[in-house]
Amino acid sequence: MSATKRTKTSHPTVIDVAQLAGVSKSTVSRVLQGNGASVKASTERAVWQAIHTLGYAPNAVARSMRTDRTFMVMLITPDITNPFWPEVARGVQDTVEHAGYSVVLGNSDWLRTREDLLLRTARNNRSDGIAINPSAISEDDLKQLGIPVVVLGLRKEFTDFDMVGSDSYAGILTALEHLYSLGHRRIGFVHGRHITDAQARLQGYLDFLQQHDLPYDADLVVHTPFELAAGKEAAITLLQRANRPTAIFASNDMLAIGVLQGARRLGVAVPAALSVVGMDDIYSAAMTTPPLTTVAKAKYDTGVAAATCLLERIAGTAPSAGRRVAIGCKLVVRETTAPAHQ
């Protein structure tokens, strides 16, 4: 029975894939298991093409019993509605799929209770690995799982785990130097709280002030959740102060877009009377009025790097010590920054 006829009457098998691709069954197995280092790139492409043509899906139960793996990994983010995370998730999914894994997505909403529930779910369902941006759990909590874990974000308190994230500290220094070069000296800072990773941005702000002999003014700093509405309220607070800032840096683009809304509500023109810079370069950053100057992060690449580290942990090929993968940022200058208005 040919592979073509077989697809009409029953589920395609590895043998069908091998016949259509013109390779051996073991070659197909190596490609599916992510162990195709010795397989030619052209051969691997032929195998994946045959898989897609036939609509082949591995028998997950049988494969789990044979390999003692579920070929499932969990991705836990604090807020999937934040446009930053879908690109990271896509990078994770694209990478693990090539190794035969599927992704289960969990959203913690910044809540410890939901994080605990998601981690229990991952353990009870025998997930092979977890990629997580922690908001409340500790390193010890993750160690007790006994599951390979990669942390999304560069955290001082998770040094025993692989960490993959953007170099936010260097990114904020670049943004603030841009504002300084435009003559801004009273620079407001909308500091997003929730996670310790955000402390790198606050530290960058404090170090920038020190490097330029600028005084720290508590009236220029607002601590707030990473939410658009919070950014709007923060801007209204800063811009109604007697000696208001000439520029505002916001910890992410959602906050920065909120700052633009707050400035518009008060009739403060951007960038003529106020410069604004965000961080992340989400899709909507280029669609604001005016388009937002921001610090771009390689979101998809972050997902790919995190997934690669996780797959190596699962396969047992990673080094024993936790790794720190810092991905560089770059400034994207658009239309929300201009020379300081004197």
pLDDT, position 12? 86
Average pLDDT rounded to a whole number, residues 109-132 = 94
User: Is the bond into 290 cis (omega within 30 degrees of 0)?
Assistant: yes
| Percent above pLDDT 90 for the chain | 72
Is the pLDDT at 66 greater than 70, yes or no? no
Tell whether domain 66-166+299-327 is in CATH 3.30.70.1230. no
pLDDT tens, position by position, 177-219: 999 999 999 999 999 876 555 678 899 999 999 999 999 999 9
pLDDT, position 40? 85
Mean residue pLDDT of the chain comes to: 90
Average pLDDT rounded to a whole number, residues 228-244 = 96
pLDDT, position 63? 55
Domain map (residue ranges) of the chain: 3-57, 66-166+299-327, 168-297
Instruction: Among 16-30, 138-152, 175-189, 264-278, name the one with the lowest average pLDDT.
Output: 16-30
CB neighbours of residue 188 within 10 Å: 27
- Which residues pair with residue 151 across a beta bridge? 132, 163
Average pLDDT rounded to a whole number, residues 133-140 = 92
Instruction: Among 30-34, 56-60, 290-294, name the one with the lowest average pLDDT.
Output: 56-60
pLDDT, position 156? 86
Is the pLDDT at 103 greater than 60, yes or no? yes
Any idea how long the chain is?
342
* Whole-angstrom distance, CA of residue 116 vs CA of residue 102: 21
H-run or E-run covering 75:
strand 72-77
Q: Do domains 66-166+299-327 and 168-297 have the same CATH topology?
A: yes
Helices and strands: H and E segment counts in the chain: 13, 12
pLDDT tens, position by position, 38-53: 788 888 889 888 888 8
* Whole-angstrom distance, CA of residue 311 vs CA of residue 148: 9
**CATH class of the region 168-297:** alpha beta
pLDDT, position 5? 45
Q: What is the CATH number of domain 3-57?
A: 1.10.260.40
Residue 328 is which amino acid?
A: G
Average pLDDT rounded to a whole number, residues 271-278 = 98
